[in-house]
């Protein structure tokens, strides 16, 4: 079992949780958590160990997020199709073929580079790697959602034929 599948199981990602996570409010509030987490970690400079309180609040929110919004039964929005596609991809990696697989690998590399820059920036309290890393992560995730949404649409079309 892959690391991502294990994480999804540990996070309680049941079919119902995936439908709730497909709600656009779930997706966009997770993106909103990126600058909140950055600010929470950066706040260690001002409030010391008390920074763990806002960090903990963001972590709790990220854990609860896929479970608190109404379920999306019909993925009509861009974000919902992307999350439904992510669920498909986690269940069967062979659905991603050809160019989609190459782009998926590129997006993983962009995300890893962004994460490394973000961590460096947060440790050193340097603005440019922090902002650049967060930007790479965000762009990579948005592109990934788009590609997984295309995967979902292609899968739906193939299952109707």
The reported pLDDT for the residue numbered 3 is 58
Query: What average pLDDT does the segment 96-121 reach?
Result: 89
Sequence-separated contacts (24+) of 99-105 with Cβ below 8 Å: 100/147, 100/150, 100/151, 103/143, 103/147, 104/144, 104/147
**Number of domains present in the structure of the chain:** 1
**Arithmetic mean of pLDDT over the chain:** 90
The span from the CA of 83 to the CA of 106, in Å, is 19
Residue ranges in the chain assigned as alpha helix (H): 3-10, 15-21, 24-42, 44-47, 52-68, 78-91, 98-124, 127-160
Residue 114 confidence class, pLDDT cut points 50, 70, 90: very high
Residue 8 confidence class, pLDDT cut points 50, 70, 90: low
The reported pLDDT for the residue numbered 102 is 85
Of 43-52, 86-95, 136-145, minimum mean pLDDT range: 86-95
Tokens 């995967």 sit at which residue?
151
The reported pLDDT for the residue numbered 5 is 61
Q: What is the pLDDT of residues 27-70, one digit of tens each?
A: 999 999 999 999 999 999 999 999 999 999 999 999 999 999 99
The angle formed by the CA atoms of residues 26, 86 and 14, to the nearest 5 degrees, is: 65
- Residue 62 CB burial class (10 angstroms; 0-12, 13-18, ≥19): middle
Sequence-separated contacts (24+) of 3-7 with Cβ below 8 Å: 4/90, 5/90
Give the rounded distance of the alpha carbon of 83 from its chain centre: 9
The reported pLDDT for the residue numbered 158 is 84
Query: What average pLDDT does the segment 73-98 reach?
Result: 89
Closest CA to 2 of 94, 69, 74: 94
Residue 1 confidence class, pLDDT cut points 50, 70, 90: low
Look up the domain containing 138 and give its range: 3-160
């Amino acid at each position: 079992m892959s690391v991502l599948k294990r994480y999804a199981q540990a996070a309680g990602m049941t079919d119902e949780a995936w439908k709730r996570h497909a709600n656009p409010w779930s997706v966009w509030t997770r993106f909103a958590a990126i600058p909140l987490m950055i600010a929470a970690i950066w706040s260690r400079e001002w409030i010391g160990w008390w920074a763990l309180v806002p960090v903990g609040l963001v972590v709790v929110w990220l854990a609860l997020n896929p479970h608190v919004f109404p379920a999306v039964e019909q993925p009509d929005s861009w974000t919902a199709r992307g999350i439904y596609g992510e669920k498909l991809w986690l269940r069967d990696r062979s659905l991603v073929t050809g160019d989609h697989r190459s782009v998926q690998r590129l997006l993983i590399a962009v995300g890893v580079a962004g994460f490394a820059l973000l961590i460096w920036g947060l440790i050193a309290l340097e603005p440019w790697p922090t902002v650049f890393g967060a930007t790479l992560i965000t762009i990579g995730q948005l592109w990934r959602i788009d590609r997984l949404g295309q995967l979902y649409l292609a899968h739906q079309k193939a299952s109707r034929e």
